[in-house]
Structure 1
Amino acid sequence: MRTLAVALILVLAGCGGSEDPPAATKTTVAPTKATTKPTVAPPEGTPAPEALTKFRCAKNAKGLWNTSGYLANRTKAKVTFQVTVYVGAAAGGEEKAKTRQVPHVAAGGSSQFVINNLPALDDGGTCHVQVLAQD
């Protein structure tokens, strides 16, 4: 009986999992560089918010957003202005805006602009405008 008990202990000790666990394999993933391509060329020019006066942006009776205003050239040379208007929340994504060039505003002069049918979300939002002076 004693040999049977010793044999049983040896068998249990052998099944007790005294072996080391298999070594974990290490996998490495090559890092990838995230690249983004702009869908539209970035605007060119010098910010000129002071040139904008009498700016209006509103939804008409048909539910379309329209905007208008005046651009004053306070320099001594003619300037082309670029006006971009966006209606909605400024979320920094790929929002749709509309841009209008106002060419050759005379030195010391001003010019009116109108941009109709602005793209906007169904719930509308706030009008955002950017004015750039280009040489």
Structure 2
Amino acid sequence: MRFAAVALLLVLGACSGGSSEPAGQATTPAPAAGAPTNPPPTGTPVPEALSDFRCEADGTGTYTATGALANDTKAPVTFQVTVNVGLPAATPQAAVTKQVPKVKAGGSTTFEIVKIPVAAEGGTCHVQVVTTK
């Protein structure tokens, strides 16, 4: 599963969806394709922190992503998870970013991201996980 997460991380690397929201469990949709974008998320990529990632559409085509994050460090960290549905692209795509704050050292948590935007041409789910300061 981690191999898939790493592969998805590489595909999403060009995608934007950064959030400047204060710590909390809020989600932020990124601008639609072609619209001005926020700078890419900053932080340290940690694809190995992600497990049990699922991204599925319901009967109406609305995507929801879930997964687990593990903090293997000796200090609390804040994770930033960005998900989009589309084809690999060199330009930023609409995405949703969720901050998962203060996961304790050696701890883990789960997350859910709802209403993930879908590119006009469709595609598959892509995920990026970074730790922020």
TM-score by length of 1: 0.69
Q: CA deviation at 1:124?
A: 2.8
Question: Structure 2: any 5+ residue segments left out of the alignment?
Answer: 1-35
Please provide the CA RMSD for this pair.
1.3
| Distance in 1 (alpha carbons) for counterparts of 2:40 and 2:93 | 14
2:127 is paired with a residue of what secondary structure?
strand
Determine what percentage of the aligned residue pairs are the same residue: 54
Q: Does 1:124 align with 2:125?
A: no
1:14-70 Cα distance to aligned partner (Å, 9 max, x none) = xxxxxxxxxxxxxxxxxxxxxxxx721221110000000000001111210110000
Which of the residues 90, 98, 101 maps onto 1:100?
Answer: 98
Q: Which residue of 2 aligns with 1:52?
A: 50
1:79-94, aligned counterparts within 5 Å? 79-94=77-92
Amino acid in structure 1 at the alignment position of 2:81: V
Q: CA deviation at 1:121?
A: 2.8
1:1-135, aligned counterparts within 5 Å? 39-122=37-120, 124-135=122-133
Count of residues paired in the alignment: 98
Amino acid in structure 2 at the alignment position of 1:106: K
- Rg larger in 1 or in 2? 1
Stretches of 4+ moved more than 4 A in 1? none
1:80 is paired with a residue of what secondary structure?
strand
TM-score by length of 2: 0.70
